[in-house]
Amino acid sequence: MGRPRGDNAMEKNLIRADRTALAPYTAWAALFIVVPLAFVAYYAFTDASFNFTFENISRFFTATTQTASEDGSVREIRTYIVIFMRSLKLAAISTAVCLVMGYPIAYIMARSDARVQKTLMTVIMIPMWMNFLIRTYAWITILQDTGLINRLLSAVGLSPVHIIGTQTAVVVGMVYDYLPYMILPLYSVMAKMDVKLLEAAQDLGCSGLGVLRRVIWPLSVPGVINGITMVLIPSISTFYISQKLGDGKFFLIGDAIEGQYTANNLHFAAAIAFILMILLLICMGVMRWLTDKKRGGLA
């Protein structure tokens, strides 16, 4: 805007000063973020005696397992591809559930007065302060056949439901763990939304649903994309939830990495992690590209 020219030089100096101040952080980030990643890549492309190899990578794509189909015939499946697709499916379901649950919560939060907002925020954050294992065990006691839900059901005279060890139980666990990561980015875009825009839409003939469809939703898309990224990525690579709540019936890619690692198969574990990372990077890239394309019309 109408700034005097001299400010430009000053700004450059400031940026230079900022960079110097950032140096310790840059070093820290290099040491604790880049170096471990480099090690993962290094292990992924080497064998037990640290010779370069594609063996681990190709094993991920080619390893097969015999499995009995329902009709009794034996089929051969690509082990890790199937595990990956299963992880993707569960993660996608959990993300969708998080979005459907989180969107109205975020909206209500953003539109409440400051005190209610703070309370809701705390309520949403509290589970995050609790250990992940404890949370998962808590869900076992709630969901198991003799658990809280079934005792409540039988108390009111309804027949019990079998949840533990099903896909539903795994999804419940994932949704519980990752819901805050969906709500927070949604809440942050919605809180910034100008109430006047919603009033303007009403003024121009939109009913409640029209306002949601034509103004609130399009303006919240960046938050939706962020929320999906924040939930989808950790839930793809999640482990333990599936072991405990799924009774080990839903072996996920995170469990595979953990399994290979505990079996001291470090190189193959690294290879799975590496491939997962690349796939997630591609995922994120596509999302970023989609948002940018949407924003392109705005800039």
Partner 1 sequence: MDKIIELKGITKSFGETRAIDDVSLDVYDNEFLTLLGPSGCGKTTLLRIIGGFEKPDEGDVIFMGRRINDVPAYKRNVNTVFQRYALFPHLNIFENIAFPLREKKLPESEIRERVDEMLGMVVLRGFEKRSVSSLSGGQQQRVAIARALIAQPRVLLLDEPLAALDLKLRKDMQGELKRIQKATGITFIFVTHDQEEALSMSDTVVVMSSGQIQQIGRPIDIYNEPKNAFVADFIGESNIIDGRMPKDFVCTINGRDFECLDGGFAPGEAVDVVIRPEDVDIVDPAAGQLTGVVSSVTFMGVHYEIIVDVAGFMWMIQTTDYVAEGQTIGICLEPDAIHVMKKSEFSGMFGDYSCFSDEYEEISDPELAAAAEEE
Among the residue ranges 81-89, 144-152, 202-210, 228-236, the one whose residues contact partner 1 (CB under 8 A):
202-210
Would you say 223 and 230 are in contact if contact means Cβ atoms under 8 Å apart?
no
Nearest residue (CB) to partner 1, 23 versus 195: 195
Q: Can you tell me the distance from the alpha carbon of 255 to that of 243, in angstroms, rounded to the nearest whole number?
A: 8
Question: Which H/E stretch holds residue 221?
Answer: helix 217-236
Q: Of 115, 113, 131, which is closest to residue 123 (Cα–Cα)?
A: 115
* 196 counts as binding partner 1 under rule CB under 8 A: yes
Binding of partner 1 by 62 (CB under 8 A) = no
Least separation in angstroms between CB 191 and partner 1:
16
Could you say whether residue 4 binds partner 1 (CB under 8 A)? no
Scanning the structure block, which residue is given the tokens 């996608």?
Answer: 92
Q: At its nearest, how many Å lie between partner 1 and the CB of residue 200?
A: 4
Do 67 and 145 form a contact (C-beta atoms < 8 A)? no
- Classified as helix, coil or strand, 252 is coil
- Which of 72/205 has CB closer to partner 1? 205
- The Cβ of residue 84 has, within 10 Å, a number of other Cβ atoms equal to 21
Largest CA distance in the chain: 81
> Using CB under 8 A, which of 18, 70, 113, 203 touches partner 1?
203
Figure out which of the listed residues 53, 117, 167, 202 binds partner 1, where binding follows CB under 8 A: 202
Q: Which of 4, 6, 24, 297 binds partner 1 (CB under 8 A)?
A: 297
Of 35, 194, 263, 285, the one binding partner 1 (CB under 8 A) is: 194
Minimum Å gap between C-beta 291 and partner 1 is 12
Q: Of 76-84, 160-168, 214-222, 235-243, which part binds partner 1 (CB under 8 A)?
A: 214-222
Which segment (50-58, 98-106, 167-175, 204-212) binds partner 1 by CB under 8 A?
204-212
Least distance in angstroms from the C-beta of 203 to partner 1: 5
Q: What is the 3-state secondary structure (H, E, C) of 83-135?
A: HHHHHHHHHHHHHHHHHHHHHHHHHHHHHCCHHHHHHHHHHHHHHHHCCHHHH
Q: What's the closest the beta carbon of residue 210 comes to partner 1, in angstroms?
A: 6
Q: Which two tokens stand for residue 285?
A: 């890239």
Phi/psi at 242 (5° precision):
-70, -35
Beta strand residue intervals within the chain, DSSP E:
64-68, 74-78
How many residues interact with partner 1 (rule CB under 8 A)?
21
Contact with partner 1 (CB under 8 A) among 16, 19, 75, 214: 214
Give the residues across from 46 on adjacent strands. 52
Restricted to residues 148-187, the positions that interact with partner 1 (CB under 8 A) are none
Closest by CA to 42, choosing from 276, 228, 274, 212, is: 274
Q: Residues 31 to 50: which contact partner 1 by CB under 8 A?
A: none
List residues binding partner 1 (CB under 8 A): 1, 194, 196-197, 199-207, 210, 214-215, 218-219, 297-299
